[in-house]
Structure 1
Amino acid sequence: MKTRSMALALAACALSASAQQAPAPQERGPVAADALLHAQQVHYPTPYGAMDAAEVKAVLDRVFGYLDQVTPAEVIDQRTGAPIADLSKPDPNAVLKPGDFRLTSYEWGVTYTGMLAAGAATGDRHYTDYAIQRHQLLSRLTKTYLPLVQADREHAAAPIKSFLNPHALDDAGALCHSFLKAKLAGSSVDYGQMIPICADFVTKKEYRLKDGTLARGGPDGHGGVKMRPLPDTLWLDDLFMGVPTIAYLGKVTGDARYYDDAARQVLQFSKRMFNPRLGIYMHGYVEGLRDHPELHWARANGWAVMAMVEVLEVLPKDHKDYGAVLEQLRAHVKGLASYQTKDGFWHQLIDRPDTYEETSATAIYAYAIARAVNRGYVDAQAYGPMANLAWNAVASKVGSNGRIDGICVGTGMAFDPAFYAYRPTSVKAAHGYGPTLLAGAEIIAMNRKFKFGLNDSALMYQGVRD
C-alpha cells in the first residue's frame, strides 16, 4: 500500500529533480500543444522512486512487530501449556510454544539472517536481539537434548529434534548460515555444538552425485533409493540450503577446502541447470535424464542468486574460482532483469506471464541485486533503479499488520507448468519474511551509498553520496 509519507517523499524527490528535466524549447512564440506532454503526471500502481531509510524502516517495523508477536521464544509442557523455566534438564513433554512459524525451519534461518541485516542497516537493536535471543534458546536446548538424541536418534524426544538429527539440507543449512553470520558479527551465543551439527550434515552426510554435487534421491538406508522426487535429483533450492554454509565455514575455520567446495557447487549446479540463452535456471534436474523440461520457478532462482552473493561475500578474491562465480552471478542478474514486470515483480514461473506475480522471489531479487550493486559486482547505473522498483513492489504487499501477501507456499519440484502456476499463496507462508527483511536492509544500504532520483521523469542513478 502507498502510505502518505511515502507519497510525500516521492513528490519531494520529483521536485528536487526539476532541474534535471528535459531542456526548455529554444523556439520563440507560443508553446505547441505537445511540448509538455512528456511531463504529465503518471499513475504508477507501484510507487515510483527511491524510498529513504525511514520509509523502508517503517515497512520493516511492521514486519518485525508481527513476527515478534507470533513467534514466541519459549518452551512449554505440551500437556498443560505451562512454561518450562528450567531448560537444563531434559523433559520428554517439552515443546517450543506454538506460533505462526517454526523457530528451526530453513525459512526461519533466513529470517534470523534478515533480522541481523535489518539490525545492522537500521541501528535498531530490536532486530538483532530477535535473532540472538532465539539463537540463545536453541543453544540452551542443544546442550540439554543433544546427548539424548545422539544416544537414541529414533526414539529420543526433543523440542528441536529436526535440527539435532537432520535428515535434509532444509533441517540444517539455512539455520547454520545464520549461526555463522551471527558468530562473525560478534554474537555472544555459544555456537560450539550447533555449528558442528550443521557442518557435519551439510559437508559429510547429505547425498552427493559422483562429482560431489549436492543432490536428493540417494540411498534410503533400507536397500532402496529415496524418491525426492526421482533418484539423483538436483533441486536448485539446495544451492542456498547448503552452499552459503559451506562458504562461511571456510571463513570461520580458515580451511580453504570449504571455499573450494562452495565454489564448485555453484559452478556444477550452473553447468547442469543454467540456461545461458534465457539467463535463468531450471528448477529441477535429474542426473542421466536425456531431456529436462525446463520450469523456471521464481523462488528457486531466488535461492540461487542469493547463494551466489553470499558465497562471494566470503570467498577470497584470489580464489581460483572467484572470477567464474562472479561471472555466473552477473549472467543471472542480467537474465533476471529482463523479466521484471512493469509493476516491479517477477512471475511465479519467471518466463510465463500467465502465472501470478510472486512476492518472496521478488524480495530475494531485490536483496541480491541491491547487494550486487553495493559490492560492485554489477553497475549501480544499470541495476539500482530496478532494485528500488522491486523493493517498492514488495513493500506494497506488507499490510498494516505486518503480514505479507502473495507468498507462494512450500513447493516441491515438477516437470509441468500447472504444478507451479496453481500453487497457493498465503500470509502464513514463512518463505517471504526473511527475504523481505534482507531486501529492506540492503535497499537502505544501497540508497545510503548511492543517490537515485528523477531525471527527465525516469528514476536514474545520480552518483555516490558524500
Structure 2
Amino acid sequence: MLSTPQLNDWDWIDAIQMGMPVLAKMGVLDNNPAFYEKMYNMYMFTRDKEGANGLYNPKDGLWWRDADFDPPYTEPNGEDSYWSRGNGWVIAALAKVLAIVPESTRHRDQYIKDLKAMAKALVPLQRKDGFWNVSLHDENNYGGKEATGTSLFIYAMAYGVNQGILDKETYVPVIKKGWEALIKDSLHENGFLGYVQSTGKEPKAGQPLSYDKVPDFEDYGLGCFLLAGTEIYRMNLE
C-alpha cells in the first residue's frame, strides 16, 4: 500500500509539479495501477479539499498557490491572487502526466479536462507582448513579463495542440506569440534567460525582474524554457 506523504501548506503546488509525473513514471515502470490511483487521489485532494475548498477555482480555471492565498485573500485590485509560475507548475504537470500514462489509464479524462480549462482561462490573460504577468489577475501588482510562467504555459498548450487536445486555430497564435516573446525578450545570445522570477511563492517574490537580472533559482528557469522548446520543435512553427 502506498503511503501519503505529509505536506505543509506551501508544498502542495510544488507536489503536483514534482510528484505527479514521478508517480506516473513509477506506474509505467512497475506496471502498477496503484501509483496512478495514488497520484489521482493526491491531485484531487489538492484540487478540491486542501485549504478551505481546494486550491483550484473552477470559476476562473486557475489555482491559488496554497491555502494562504485562498479567499478572502485578494490582490490589491480585489481580484483573486493567481501566481503565474504556480499555475504553470500545475498545467505543465498535467501535460507531463498525459505524456507518460497509457491512454487507458483511469482518470486520464480528468487531467485532460483540467488542462483544457486552464488553457482556456490563460488565453485572454496573455499580454500584448506575448508574456504573461507574474500576477495573472492584477497587472499592477508585480505584473510585468515573466519567463518561467510563460514557458510552462507555452509548453502545456503546445503539448495539447500536438496531441489533438487543444484546438490549433485558437492556440497556435497564442503559442507562437509567447515563444517569440521568450526568444526575443528573454533569451540572451549566450543562453542566459532574463525576466526569470527568483525562488518564491507569490507575485512579489524576487522582484523587480529585468532582462539582465540574475535570479536566485535552481535551474528551473532553463528547464521551463527547454520544456517549451521541446513541444515547439514538434510543432515545427514557421
User: Is 1:282 the counterpart of 2:81 in the alignment?
Assistant: no
User: Is 1:270 the counterpart of 2:69 in the alignment?
Assistant: no
Distance in structure 2 (CA, Å) of the matches to 1:252 and 1:374: 25
TM-score (norm 2): 0.83
CA contact (8 A) 2:198 2:205 kept: no
CA contact (8 A) 2:197 2:205 kept: no
User: Is 1:261 the counterpart of 2:22 in the alignment?
Assistant: no
TM-score (norm 1): 0.44
Distance in structure 2 (CA, Å) of the matches to 1:321 and 1:314: 13
User: Is 1:440 the counterpart of 2:217 in the alignment?
Assistant: no
Distance in structure 2 (CA, Å) of the matches to 1:234 and 1:255: 26
Distance in structure 1 (CA, Å) of the matches to 2:89 and 2:21: 10
Q: What corresponds to 2:128 in structure 1?
A: 342
CA contact (8 A) 1:303 1:364 kept: yes
Aligned match for 2:165, one of 377, 400, 403: 377
Q: What corresponds to 1:330 in structure 2?
A: 116
Aligned match for 1:427, one of 214, 220, 225: 214
Q: What corresponds to 2:77 in structure 1?
A: none
CA contact (8 A) 1:244 1:307 kept: yes
Q: What corresponds to 1:400 in structure 2?
A: 189
Letter in 2 for 1:400: E
CA contact (8 A) 2:197 2:206 kept: no
User: Is 1:361 the counterpart of 2:114 in the alignment?
Assistant: no
CA contact (8 A) 1:364 1:436 kept: yes
Deviations 1:242-296 (A, max 9, x none): 111111111111110111122233333222112222221111116xx88454421
Identity among equivalent positions (%) equals: 26
Q: What corresponds to 1:306 in structure 2?
A: 92
Query: Counterparts in 2 of 1:247-258, with a 5 A limit?
Result: 247-258=24-35
Deviations 1:351-390 (A, max 9, x none): 1112111011111111111011111111112111111111
**RMSD (Å), alpha carbons:** 2.4
More RCO (CA 8 Å, sep 6+): 1
Q: What corresponds to 2:5 in structure 1?
A: 206
| Number of residue-to-residue matches in the alignment | 220
Deviations 1:20-46 (A, max 9, x none): xxxxxxxxxxxxxxxxxxxxxxxxxxx
In the TM superposition, structure 1's runs of 4+ consecutive aligned residues that sit over 4 Å from their partners are 289-293
Deviations 1:329-371 (A, max 9, x none): 1001111112001111000011111211101111111111101
Letter in 2 for 1:379: D
Letter in 2 for 1:332: M
Distance in structure 2 (CA, Å) of the matches to 1:371 and 1:275: 23
Distance in structure 1 (CA, Å) of the matches to 2:120 and 2:71: 28
Query: After alignment, is 420-429 or 331-340 more displaced?
Result: 420-429
Distance in structure 1 (CA, Å) of the matches to 2:44 and 2:98: 13
CA contact (8 A) 2:199 2:206 kept: no
Q: CA deviation at 1:313?
A: 1.4
Distance in structure 2 (CA, Å) of the matches to 1:342 and 1:392: 12
Distance in structure 1 (CA, Å) of the matches to 2:38 and 2:4: 14
Larger C-alpha radius of gyration, 1 or 2?
Answer: 1
Distance in structure 2 (CA, Å) of the matches to 1:278 and 1:360: 21
Distance in structure 2 (CA, Å) of the matches to 1:357 and 1:318: 39
Letter in 1 for 2:157: I
Distance in structure 2 (CA, Å) of the matches to 1:277 and 1:375: 26
Long gaps (5+) in structure 2: 49-53, 75-79
